[in-house]
Amino acid sequence: MKKTREERSVVVKRLQNELKNVHHALAEQSKSYSRLRHGVYQPAAHDVQRYVSKVQELEEEVVEMQSIVGRVNRQLEASQRDLQSWKCSAQEKQHLLDG
């Protein structure tokens, strides 16, 4: 019987500690939520710097992509001009052969 009481006591203490930890975690989450909700939350400086760096990286990538798109557009226009020229040449030759 004494052993059972001791085991029960250990279990109760463990559960009390777990409950205390859960209450503490809940209180911390509640504080964080409240700060977020009221706009008091200030991101850490390293987070801001990381976001700024990522934005700069993405801006550079956009500039590079715009440059690539410009080159591809110029190539497309040149190809379309060549196609039109070849088409006209082919039509003239066909017309001469038919003529």
Could you tell me if 38 and 53 lie in one domain? no
End-to-end Cα spacing for the chain? 119
Could you tell me if 62 and 20 lie in one domain? no
Which tens digits make up the pLDDT trace of 31-75? Answer: 888 877 777 666 788 889 999 999 999 999 999 999 999 999 999
Could you tell me if 37 and 53 lie in one domain? no
Give residue 41's pLDDT. 61
Give residue 62's pLDDT. 96
Could you tell me if 55 and 26 lie in one domain? no
Give the residue with greater pLDDT, 9 vs 65: 65
Q: Which domain holds residue 86?
A: 48-99
d(CA 54, CA 60): 10
Could you tell me if 54 and 98 lie in one domain? yes
Could you tell me if 67 and 38 lie in one domain? no
Could you tell me if 99 and 59 lie in one domain? yes
Give residue 40's pLDDT. 64
- Sequence-distant (≥ 6) Cβ neighbours of residue 35 within 8 angstroms: 41
**Domain count within the chain:** 2
Query: pTM for the full model?
Result: 0.47
Mean pLDDT of the chain: 88
